[in-house]
Amino acid sequence: MKKTLLSLLFLTSLSINAQVWTVKPTGFTTVSRGLGSISIVDANNVWAMAVDGSATASQIVKEITRSSDGGNTWTPTTLSLGAGTAGLGLSSISAVSSTTAWISAYPGTGNVGGVWKTVNSGAAFTKQTTATFTAASFTNFVYFWDANNGIAQGDPDTAFFEIYTTTNGGTNWTRVPTGNIPATSPAGAEYGYSNNYYVSGNTIWFGTSSGRLYRSNDKGLNWTVSQPPSVTDFGSATAGGAYAFSSPLNGLLVTKTGQIFNTIDGGTTFTEIASTGFFNGDIAFVPGTLGAYVTTGTTGSSYTIDGGLTWTNIDALQHTVVAFLNDSVGFTGGFTTSATVGGVSQYTGTILKNKAFNANKFATYPNPVTDNVTISNSDNILLTDVNITDINGRTVKNIKVNNLSEVQMNVSELMAGVYFMNVTTDSGKVVKKFIKN
């Protein structure tokens, strides 16, 4: 039986740090409606898909909600997907404008899942019939890079995942040849999960029930697969994990075993980071920053601005999925407590914006470096301390600075590898990455 990825048991909401998250009503009239997928188009337009959080055995929900004012107010819609679709459930949503979005739906008894599109802000959805998922395939997600280029992924019909791509908005979907996709392991017994994917640029990843991470660098046309550490099943409550990427090569993996890992090769290999304070329900990179990520879970949320080396707790509220457009616009799912209270948290903080703003003013050179590395800025921001850490978060060098705007450091004694400068200034803290040859 298909496992659910999210923990949908409703918990009592606790107080939230209003400086970071502001709770808004999603508009769903049913208590314990949560969010299982969020798609941010721009600073104004946001779409989200509902999930049921009222019981351990979740009920099928065909509801979405949409905001056109940056998440301040939301308008819910109950979807009608056509005749013979009563047993279908929603697995993801992807939007490209205020009017146009796609949803993926997984099959129930006697139903076949697939992809549906709206061009009228959700008033009606039409099935895109050329994404011909078989009855055996559980449609896990749909994602669009723009109005034309998209991907839809489903479980294997035989020994290979059923993956489709389109270049014309879904008018025509083409199945990816099985020769472009690594075979399932165990053969025919590996599957994906609803909304379990991540995108950075043209690169997309999805996790599986075997704890494996599939990756495509060309919008889904060709695939490789890897086996991340400490994860045996991405949907498991005890052996699962969540992942996010800041670029096609750099990312973080948080696991249900309480570990966090860094990758610098797109997920082919991972290195454990000695850190605490993160959650392992979901994780998102904050675009436009150098190393800001936000993690969420059933007991709170936290953030990092140094690529996962250190984490700061935000609150003790229950969160589901999390998504960010940039350092000013982000959302995380919650659950409704009444018809007019709760369901989504809107990012209203400045903690990510300030850190990214300062970091972008600093230059580190040469990079890569052999002996002397310089960090400087043109805004006369004064440095007071530079703490250099390795990829595992261990301090390897510390330099006290007497309020200088430019500092040169000799790092010739360091082993070859990736390092982070944790810089304290008179305007706050920033993190810069450099490579030692």
Digit-coded pLDDT (tens) for 180-206: 999 999 988 999 999 999 999 999 999
For residue 353, the SS3 value is helix
Take residue 274 and report the two structure tokens written for it.
């000695």
Question: CA-CA distance, 308 to 354, in Å (whole number)?
Answer: 17
What's the burial of 120, exposed, middle or buried (CB within 10 Å: 0-12/13-18/19+)? exposed
pLDDT at 318 exceeding the cut of 80: yes
Take residue 50 and report the two structure tokens written for it.
């509902």
Question: CA-CA distance, 197 to 143, in Å (whole number)?
Answer: 9
Asked if 294 and 286 touch (Cβ cutoff 8 Å), the reply is: yes
pLDDT at 1 exceeding the cut of 50: no
**pTM for this one?**
0.81
For residue 166, the SS3 value is strand
Q: What's the Cα-to-Cα distance from 264 to each of 234, 245, 435, rounded to whole Å?
A: 20, 10, 12
What rounded mean pLDDT belongs to the chain?
90
Question: CA-CA distance, 213 to 264, in Å (whole number)?
Answer: 15
Asked if 90 and 62 touch (Cβ cutoff 8 Å), the reply is: yes
- pLDDT digits over 127-181, tens only? 999 999 987 789 999 999 999 999 999 999 889 999 999 999 999 999 999 999 9
pLDDT at 375 exceeding the cut of 80: yes
User: What length does the chain have?
Assistant: 437
